[in-house]
């Protein structure tokens, strides 16, 4: 999911620090890659079930035209459409694992965007 702020004069460094703080608060290990026109923040989380959850946040643009792009792990929505068929062929446990992953990412995205909106709103 991508969100863009136009004519808001947002400090990119401050926003990146807020994103990193959010991810660290969620126990993600992060790695940041800076370039001239963007920041990429990779977050990796190991679950108690020893599964990996990954997200990638890209912050790009200038203060008056800033874009945040959030990409989450594998896209499981299309797989879940065929849930009954997969269960029929003995893939119920695998499907449950994918459903838990999809639920995690859906909740994460909602919390992430609420946090970012709150952070940006408090600084504008």
User: Measured at the alpha carbon of residue 45, what is the angle toward residues 43 and 48, in degrees to the nearest 5?
Assistant: 175
Q: Per the structure, how many domains does the chain have?
A: 1
Residue-level pLDDT at 36: 86
Reply yes or no on whether the pLDDT at 41 is more than 90: yes
DSSP characters for 58-101?
EEEEETTEEEEEEEESS--HHHHTTHHHHHHTT-HHHHHHHHHH
Give the confidence band of 9 by pLDDT, cuts at 50, 70, 90: confident
Separation between Cα atoms, residue 75 and residue 80, nearest integer Å: 10
Q: Would you place residue 95 in the very low, low, confident or very high pLDDT band (cuts 50, 70, 90)?
A: low
CATH number for the domain harbouring residue 10: 3.30.310.80
CA–CA distance, 105 with 115 (Å, rounded to integer): 15
**Greatest mean pLDDT among 24-28, 42-46, 99-103:** 24-28
Instruction: State phi, psi for 73 to the nearest 5 degrees.
Output: -20, -155
pTM assigned to the model: 0.78
Q: What is the mean pLDDT of residues 66-75?
A: 82
Distance between CA 90 and CA 40 in Å, rounded? 39
Range of the domain at 24: 2-123
| Residue 77, pLDDT above cutoff 80 | no
């Amino acid at each position: 999911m991508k969100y863009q702020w136009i004519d808001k004069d947002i400090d990119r460094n401050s926003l990146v620090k807020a994103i990193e703080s959010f991810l660290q608060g969620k126990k993600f290990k992060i790695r940041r890659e800076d370039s001239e026109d963007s920041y990429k923040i990779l977050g990796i989380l190991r679950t108690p079930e020893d599964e990996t959850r990954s997200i990638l946040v890209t912050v790009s643009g200038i203060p008056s035209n800033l874009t945040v792009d959030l990409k989450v792990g594998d896209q499981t929505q299309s797989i879940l459409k065929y849930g009954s068929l997969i269960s029929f062929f003995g893939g119920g446990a695998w499907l449950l694992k994918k459903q838990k992953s999809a639920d995690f990412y859906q909740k994460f995205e909602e919390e992430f965007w609420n946090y970012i909106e709150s952070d940006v709103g408090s600084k504008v």
